[in-house]
Structure formats: C-alpha cells, structure tokens
Amino acid sequence: MPSLKDLKNRIASVKSTRKITKAMQMVAAAKLRRAQDAAEQARPYAERFNAVMAGLAQSVGGSDSAPRLLSGTGSDKVQLLVVMTSERGLCGGFNSNIVKLARTRAEKLLGEGKTVKILTVGKKGRDQLKRDYAKLFVGHIDLGEVKRVGYVDAQGIAKDVLSRFDAGEFDVATIFYSKFHNVVSQEPTARQIVPAAFEMTGEAGASSLYDYEPDEEAILADLLPRGVATQVFTALLENGASEQGARMSAMDNATRNAGDMIDRLTIVYNRSRQAAITKELIEIISGAEAL
C-alpha cells in the first residue's frame, strides 16, 4: 500500500493535471466559437457555388469538349486519398475517426485491385497511416506553422492536387475530413473532388435555363480549379471547427475524470492517515498499560 507521502504527491499531481485540462478546455471553447462561425459562414457560398457548377455540368453533359477536370480520364484505376487531419492531438477520436474512414476506403480499393496513393494534410493523420501504408505515400502538406487557416492554404493544397492530376499521377481524388455538427458530434466525411462531382438539386436544374457568355465549357474550365480549392477550403474550416469541438469535449471529460480520481485518492489518503493515527494510539495505550 502506498505511503501517505506518495498519496499526497499523487493528489497534487492530479490536481495540476486538472488545472491544465481545464485551461485547455477553456481555450478550445474560445477557439471553437470563431472556428464554428467561419465554417457556418462558408457553407452558403459553397452550396451556391456547387449549385451553379452542377447546372453548368448538366448543360455540358457528355460533350467531347468538356474540361478534363469534369469528364475525368475515363478510368478509376489510380486513386488519390487526401487525408486531412490536425497538427495537434488531445482531441479525442477526431483524428482516429478520419483515419479509420480513409483506411477502410484504402483497403476496399486495394481489394478491388486498384492503385492507391495517399497525400496527407496534418501530421496526426500521417503518423497513424505511415505505419501500415508508408509505401503508398506520395506527399505531405504541413500546416503546423499556420496560425489560422485561410483560402491561400486551400489554394496551395488544391494546386498540389491539380498539378499531380495534370501530370497523370492519378485518375480520381477524394478528400477525407470531419464535418462539424456540434460540440459532441463530428461526422467523418469522404468527398470526391477530381473529377468534379456535384449533387444535383432543383436550383442546379434551374440554372441550366440561363445563357452563358462565354459558353459553358469555357466557364467550367476557369471555375473547376477554383471549385477544387473551394471544396478544400470548406473541408479545412469544417475540420477546424470539429477539432476544437472534439478537444473541448475531450478536455471536459479529462477534467471530470481527474476530479473523480482526486476524490478517490483523498478517501484512500484519509483512511490511511486514520489507520496510522489509530495504530499510534494503540501503541501508546499498550505501552501505558505495560507500565
């Protein structure tokens, strides 16, 4: 059984840990508000952009003059998985859930005999995937020095992906990220970005009634690269909000667990102390009776 000194030191150590987790929870809560606002403000633009692009894509259809980013290479043999995670840990299962989804997709594609390539954004995803899929890695984008993710960062990632597509390194590209719902709910999501895939809506169908100048093919050729950057930027914002929400929830749980552990250790300490006092009293009484 540990001594009273050991128990006292343990209680002091857990109290220090609780202070740290509580501070991290408060910092995550402050960052979450900004990250959530940014993610929610980006959604209407992304949805409207997707609707316009879907209408243009529907107008072009299977035309031979359709941009390559829309029509694709005609094959899906080589798949690029862009796994977007955080640069820091201590955020519960946020990173693990994204990696798990990417890992499941990679295993499925490999089982179908297709070639898989992995591009990671954020070192936590890289660290988890490289243990099993190091040979499939084709690159890594480090955002560790970026204090606040902006559209410029998304453009850099999109430029990297598009340059690889133009070089014929892959046929289909899919990004993996976590979509933010609330503090306790973040949904791991996979979205195909190359070739461009748009969800058809009523608004998208209505946009095909317009006449465009220049023609749809020319507009698509200009907007499709921007569409890839927009989807990457939206994923980064969703990831940022999800990370802070997951960290806030994880640190709250850690703080509660530390409090429970302090209560249990305090009970053990008090019992041990009472036992030691009782033992000393018995020894004193026994000595007095012997005299």
Q: Which residues are catalytic?
A: 91
Within 10 angstroms of residue 136's Cβ, the number of other Cβ atoms is 16
DSSP 212: -
Cβ atoms of residues 173 and 165 within 8 Å: yes
**Triad 180, 183, 184: Cα angle to 5°:** 95
Angstrom distance (rounded) from CA 86 to CA 81? 16
Angstrom distance (rounded) from CA 93 to CA 122? 15
Cβ atoms of residues 56 and 212 within 8 Å: yes
Tokens 């209407």: give the residue: 44
The sign of the CA dihedral 260, 266, 272, 275 is: negative
Angstrom distance (rounded) from CA 122 to CA 144? 8
Angstrom distance (rounded) from CA 95 to CA 129? 11
Of residues 154, 24, 160, the one with CA closest to residue 88: 24
For the chain, what is the largest distance between any 2 Cα atoms, rounded to a whole number of angstroms? 113
Distances (CA, A) of 69 to 79, 169, 192, 227, 253: 15, 14, 12, 10, 45
Angstrom distance (rounded) from CA 6 to CA 37? 47
